[in-house]
Amino acid sequence: MKFKKFNWFDKKETSAVKRVMRSGELSGFYGNWGEKFEGGREVKYFERECEEYFQTSHAVTFNSLASGLSAAIGAIGIGPGDEVILPPWTMSATAAAVLHWGGIPIFADIDVNTYCIDPEKIESLITEKTKALIAVDIFGQSANIEALKKITKRHNIYLISDSAQSVGAKRNGKYAGTLGDIGGISLNYHKHIHSGEGAVMFAENSEIALKLRMIRNHAETVISELPINLSLTNMVGHNYRLSELHAAIGREQLKKLEKIVVARELEVKMLVEKLQNLEGIVLPYVDDSNTHVYYMFAMQFIKSKFKVSKKVFIDEIKNLGVPGLSSSYINLHLLPVFQNKIAIGDKGFPWTYIDSRNDISYAKGICPVAENLQDETYFSFYINDYSLGKKQIKFIYDSFARVIDKFIRNNN
């Protein structure tokens, strides 16, 4: 069975690229204060269009969400020894952004249904060192932002949304990524908006937005020229700038976002209708307050129904020709950087910093829900990689049904 790759590019993106090429300006940024400090024509148009589309005060583009998150951590003033709480299920860049400023990631367990950070697991981790919480809107839907806001407000800490995988998803009618103090979406390969590389960060606070722009583009060289006073804290900049080419493609992709989301929702609806009556698997859960854009079609394996492991089950379906299946995700706290507490230099910084706590543990067992999902039950179909038709969906169903029948029959 042939599975068509997800691709919404057409002549509009081609025309946009040609427009930039003809202009002769592939990047519009200058690293000094002036009109081009904030980028060229395409970048500026793209940012204004994102502000309108996502209904937010400030949209700031970056060359990746890894860069955007790093800038966000810097913009809120994180420094050595400061702690930032985040879930273990996310791309490593989420935690690396904290480490880049000498901050210390503290991992909170996830909800077994949504795979997002569990609000009930956060309070016990907050200390006088805690400065922020990162909510990762994993697999295509928002975290429980209302519960998280109550916690961050009560403890006077920042709330950052990493909505890389949830572009176009909504919670209570508002877009994921726009619901915290800072949030961001990714534009890289197989995201709902695909410009090659790139990201957009959102903020309501004007000073935070300015700091994002400063860190994006060599802050240290221009801060003395600002028309307003701005703290020097973390005003050490980078080249996190988006090119005109990427911005032009992003503009065209943004126009298609609603259609892309609707198409993905329709695919999932058909897939769920097929799979929902099969034994032994749990299909994706959608929080009542959320829309889900399905970056991943996340499922769970019910061990008691089978005599084989999750991996054997998944491998059997793969062998029938179903692509894009994975039997695992990631638990960041178990990566070597955290197990060995070696990140910046070879002396254990930031954990060995004089103001850092010395009782921080990343031992297996601190996030039991995430760990059990990884080891025993979670598996997924990379639906974001494909455009599915009725034939592909039937093939997936037939393959699942065949393997489930084989193993459950043998189990009985």
Q: What tens digit of pLDDT does each residue of 172-207 get?
A: 999 999 999 999 999 998 899 999 999 999 999 999
Which of 353, 344, 345 is closest to 100 using CA atoms? 344
pLDDT, average across residues 140-162? 98
Contact between residue 211 and residue 276 where contact means Cβ atoms under 8 Å apart: no
Domains and CATH numbers, the chain: 11-253 (3.40.640.10), 258-328+370-411 (3.90.1150.10)
Say which range, 133-137, 221-225, 285-289, has the weakest mean pLDDT.
Answer: 221-225
Residue 174 phi/psi, 5-degree rounding, is -115, 150
| pLDDT at residue number 408 | 83
Q: Residue 178 and residue 257: Cα distance in Å, rounded?
A: 16
Distances (CA, A) of 147 to 163, 203, 264: 17, 20, 28
| pLDDT at residue number 226 | 85
DSSP structure string for 35-74:
GGGG--HHHHHHHHHHHHHHT-SEEEEES-HHHHHHHHHH
Which of 84, 88, 110, 108 is closest to 98 using CA atoms? 84
Burial class (CB in 10 A: 0-12, 13-18, 19+), 162: buried
Residue 378 phi/psi, 5-degree rounding, is -75, 140
- Give bridge partners of residue 62 from the DSSP assignment: 199
The yes-or-no verdict on residue 411 having pLDDT over 70 is: no
Supply the angle between the helices 390-411 and 310-319 in degrees, to the nearest 10: 130
